[in-house]
Amino acid sequence: MTDVRVRFCPSPTGNLHVGNVRTALFNWAYARHTGGTFVFRIEDTDAARDSEDSYAGLLDSLRWLGLDWDEGPEVGGDHGPYRQSERFDLYGDVARKLVESGHAYYAYDTPEELEERREKARAEGRSSGYDGLHRDLTDEQRAAYEAEGRKPVIRFRMPDVPITFTDLVRGEMTFEPEHVSDYVLVRANGQPLYTLTNPVDDATMGITHVLRGEDLLSSTPRQIPLHVALIAVGVSQGVVPHYGHLPFVMGPGNRKLSKRDPGGGLQTYRERGFLPEGLLNYLALLGWSIGNDRELFTLQEMAEAFEIERVNPNPAQFDLKKCEAINGMKIRELSADDLADRLVPYLRDADLVGGELTPEQHDLLTAATPLVQERMAVLSEAVDMLGFLFVADDAFDVDPDEAAKAFTADGLEVVRTSIAALSALEPWNTASIEAALRGALIDGMGLKPRKAFAPVRVAVTGKKISPPLFESLELLGREKALARLRAALTRAD
């Protein structure tokens, strides 16, 4: 199947919604599975909401996710331009052809007239969709309306028969004509609507399969007849796309996940330190499975296995804890060097390292990363876990609550004993540090490990929870470790 052409066509109106990310992923995977073409285009006809920053953000988001496109911005292709704002002449020409051929018509109803007729239809138990009153106006009637100063919209003339199609996810679907009325293609001010621009782009770009969210299912019985009309007027490449509607992604309260919900926007995941491969792995599981109860797979493995017919039509519940767990497993699949490189931006944002790591910082991070790799769910956790190794001496501080609990009279005695045990220790490595502290605190003072090591941990890391203590002391170095232990005594005084 080398003729499959799918598309992802978001609007540049801010933070990309994770539901849209899943839509992009499923389209990408289907294109890669079939050897087809993944088209990326931008629906930027809403001048009030679209922005160049959001446009740049969309491109950056797909690059970060690793969803490469075959046609679209920055890549080019034979069907450009790939921004709707650069295709207005095409939409105007298509609208004119549809009117001239009788597939569309001018309608002069005022909003007040429309609402009055809708209210009457609802009161009588009829459909409140457009009643077709202006479907067959004579030239004289049109002229009379225009003499009143009315500006017409352009409506598509829906066929008066049921619309039946086979949804790739949901099977055969039928919509009766009374539920799919004539709809507006072009506003009275000449602005083309999504109902025209989206199908025209699909038609002129030869899109064969439209995989999109369930919320757009109701537009499909309108778009299929429009595609037939576009073929008739010579606009289309002769293809009526196959449609597949992906299940809703549900958020809190069992309602559709919104971009405004916590965790609804992609940027949140980037800032928290989700791996793109971790987030995509989880999103793939929202409505699809690779089989054999597998939860972890690569993008390439997904592409090889992806079949749209295996997508579950039922709503999928977004579970942040599960997403974090999947991401944590993906973190543990990384090499230590790869993970260390990915941690640098988060340490930099926290002002723990500069623009470029010094050789000493690089070596320290490389050595420290394996200590936290098994404990991390997201990359940003490295700031709390490893910050004590990189913070400047004059900026190091101990959590006041933890200090109050750790530095009791007994705790301070532990600190003094630790200083004595470590001051002349040779060599300074994990094994010798562990032996010295266990001998001094557990054997010498008769303490249990928790009582023995908690004050030391708080003194040198600033927190009760940290990477393994003995390894941390080795990485911190004798001088810094002893200075922090002595500072704990000074602070108590």
Residues tagged in the binding site annotation for ATP: 259
Task: Classify strands 153-156 and 184-186 as parallel, antiparallel or unpaired.
Answer: antiparallel
Which residues define the annotated binding site? 259
Structural tokens at position 305 = 């296995």
Angle at 325 between CA 324 and CA 331, to 5 degrees: 85
Give the DSSP H or E segment for 359: helix 359-373
For residue 480, indicate whether it is catalytic: no
CB atoms within 10 A of CB 490: 7
DSSP state of 84: G
The residue with tokens 């990408």 is 28
Residue 384: closest CA among 372, 401, 370: 372
Give counts: helices (H), strands (E), the chain: 20, 11
Of the candidates 56, 47, 45, the one whose C-alpha atom is nearest the C-alpha of residue 16 is 56
What are the strands, taking DSSP E only, across 72-195? 104-107, 153-156, 163-167, 171-175, 184-186
Answer for the pair 1, 247: CB distance below 8 angstroms, yes or no: no
Residues in a beta bridge with 444: none
56 and 85 Cβ atoms separated by less than 8 Å: no
Peptide bond into 313 cis (omega under 30): no
Two tokens, residue 375:
């404990």
Beta pairing, strands 209-213 & 242-246: parallel
Q: Is 6 helix (H, G, I), strand (E, B) or coil?
A: strand
Residues 258 and 213: beta-carbon distance below 8 Å:
no
Helix ranges restricted to H, 124-193 = 139-147
CA 229 to chain centre: 35
Take residue 371 and report the two structure tokens written for it.
């200590």
Other beta carbons within 10 angstroms of residue 383's beta carbon come to 17
Q: Are 246 and 211 in contact (CB under 8 A)?
A: yes
In this structure, are strands 316-317 and 163-167 parallel, antiparallel, or unpaired?
unpaired
Catalytic choice (259, 405, 464, 480):
259
Given a contact cutoff of 8 angstroms between Cβ atoms, the answer to whether 183 and 195 are in contact is yes
- Which residues have a catalytic role annotated? 259
